[in-house]
Chain A
Amino acid sequence: MGTALVVTSGKGGVGKTTTSANIGTALALQGKRVVLLDLDIGLRNLDVVMGLSNRIIYDIVDVVTGRAKLHQALIKDKRFDDLLYLLPAAQNAEKDALEPEQVVEIVEQLRPDFDYIILDSPAGIEQGFRNATGAADGAIVVTTPEISAVSDADRVVGLLEQRDMPLKPRLIINRIRQNMLADGRSMDIDEITSHLGLDLLGIIVDDDGVIESSNKGEAIVMDPDDLASKGYRNIARRLLGDSVPLMDIRLKKQGFWAKLFHRHTES
């Protein structure tokens, strides 16, 4: 039986969709069967980030209204043989076209066939959020080292705690700017984690490659050398129960000669 995890943040633009796509892909790379559910009705993105938008024939609203069977709406990611699937959101339906009970029913139907069901929540704490969290066994809260994102995450954690899920919510701190962290101008990772009172699932550095790969419809985890990719891979392993130490994202001090010649050292 699969585990349903919701990826949520409250605030928009912190990387919920990117996180969903990358965790899903990383779990598939580990050989798990994964299905991603895009619950952002009216503003779907997960299909775009996954590079699967041109394969959409039916969406989640078609499934709940009976226009399509669930298996017809699932899009297989051919890069992963039979491991990674996407259930896209509707683009032209009303935001309230979906009810939490309907999402629960879909998740229950998917559970026997998949190891992980990742629910990509829309921003906000309204209907879309309730749809996404109502069916989940646990939550992954995404935030960035910014006071606004952390404040919204705090509100979301409060709402999640009322739901009493079988798994405790866990935290991902996304888009960490290494240079700002080094200068002490960014919020500290430990500070955020202890403020929110969650277990830290992982940290992801801010990386141009993430945007670049999204634009190409590919998850950054496919690139084994990228630092953000390593972060997502570590998260996937922690989800599977491995104990992986938090990676060192401190910028290495540049030597005198490197500085002199503006040579960039590997971070």
Chain B
Amino acid sequence: MVLKGRNDSLALQLRDTADFMQIIRTLKTLLGKLYEETPTGEVSYRLETGNRLLTEEQLTQIQSVFADFPRFSINGITSAVVDKDVVADMVTGKMTHRIGGVVRSGQTIDIMGDVLFLGDLHSGATLCASGNIFVMGKVSGVVQAGSHGDTRAVVVGDLQGASQVRIADVIEIVADHYDPLKPVAYLSKLHTMTHAKMSELANIRPRLFKQMEAM
């Protein structure tokens, strides 16, 4: 257990090789000593757990130690490692998934991340992605990008014959606005569905291309 003064806050480093019960005991004595040394004022500590990932139970134990010292609080927990499932979600969420085949009426495809659609989306079917959707196949159904609320998501491709394009919570009936020269659908700063030429995509969403290069 090491107490460190960072630029703007105090950090408690919990050594990841140490036994957790030992850490709790040390934490108790350390906080007790600090509490006596600083008789007034609120102090908040950041916990740095190194290569250790705190379980829910361990977190409650630490919180209960802090509860004994009302002027002390926890100001966030940082760790050098992350949970496998969280990583898996992060990776799939950043991936571009290739989806093909025939999606029929009543079926819904729901994807975390971007989608490159290389199939047939029939009328009455829905293609949902938390990220962007790039359409190369034929779509007659509903295309929903940014399904978890990402307003930066785009739908790119020929949507002739599609029933609706949706980005985040904005819905548009394609037949009312279809323009074959503008295959990029995105949300403008005013949060309305907007269409643009393919060549404009790099200006509208430059990060889309940077991400691709980085990966």
A53-B123, A54-B163, A54-B164 known; A91+B106 contact, CB < 8 A: yes
Is A100's beta carbon under 8 Å from chain B?
Answer: no
Q: Which residues of A contact B124 (CB under 8 A)?
A: 44, 53, 91
Select from chain B the residue with minimum beta-carbon distance to A51: B175
A42-B106, A91-B105, A91-B124 known; A54+B171 contact, CB < 8 A:
no
Say whether B174 faces chain A, with CB atoms less than 8 Å apart. Answer: yes
Complex: A54 Cα to B106 Cα, angstroms: 14
List of 8 A-B pairs having minimum Cβ-Cβ separation, nearest first: A54-B163, A91-B106, A92-B106, A91-B124, A54-B173, A55-B173, A54-B175, A57-B171
Interface size class of B (residues with CB under 8 A): 10 to 19
Give CA–CA (A44, B124) in the complex, Å.
9
A138 to B153, CA, bound (A): 49
Q: Point out residues on A near B: beta carbons under 8 Å.
A: 42, 44, 48, 53-57, 91-92
Chain A binding surface SS class: loop
Nearest neighbor of B140 in chain A, beta-carbon distance: A54
B49 at the interface (CB under 8 A from A): no
12 contacts between A and B (CB under 8 A): A48-B123, A53-B124, A54-B163, A54-B164, A54-B174, A55-B163, A55-B173, A56-B163, A57-B171, A91-B105, A92-B106, A92-B108
**Distance of A92 Cα from B164 Cα, bound (Å):** 17
Write out the residue numbers on chain A whose beta carbons fall within 8 Å of the beta carbon of B108: 92
How far, in Å, is B34 (CB) from chain A's closest CB?
52
How far, in angstroms, from A92 to B105 measured CA to CA in the complex?
8
Q: Name which residue of chain B comes closest to A93, CB basis.
A: B106
Q: How far is the CB of B173 from chain A (nearest CB, A)?
A: 5
Q: Nearest-CB distance from B174 to chain A (Å)?
A: 7
Q: How far is the CA of A51 from the CA of B173 in the complex (A)?
A: 13
B79 at the A interface (CB under 8 A): no
Chain B residues contacting A56 (CB-CB under 8 Å) are: 163
Smallest Cβ distance from A59 to chain B, in angstroms?
11
Q: Does B107 contact A (CB under 8 A)?
A: yes
Whole-angstrom CA separation of A92 from B175 in the bound complex:
23
Interface residues of B in 77-113 (CB under 8 A from A): 105-108
Q: Which of B112-136 contact A (CB under 8 A)?
A: 123-124
In the bound complex, do residue A53 and residue B163 qualify as a contact, i.e. CB atoms below 8 Å apart? yes
A33, B162: Cα distance in complex, Å:
30
How close is B125's CB to chain A, nearest CB, in angstroms? 9
CA of A53 to CA of B105, assembled, Å: 12
- Within 133-176 of B, Cβ neighbours of A (below 8 Å) are at 162-164, 171, 173-175
A92 CB contacts on chain B under 8 angstroms: 106-108
Contacts of B162 on A, CB cut-off 8 Å? 54
In the bound assembly, the distance between CA atoms of A55 and B163 in angstroms comes to: 7
CA distance A42 to B164 in the complex (A): 19
Residue in A44, A53, A54, A56 with the greatest tally of chain B CB atoms within 10 Å: A54
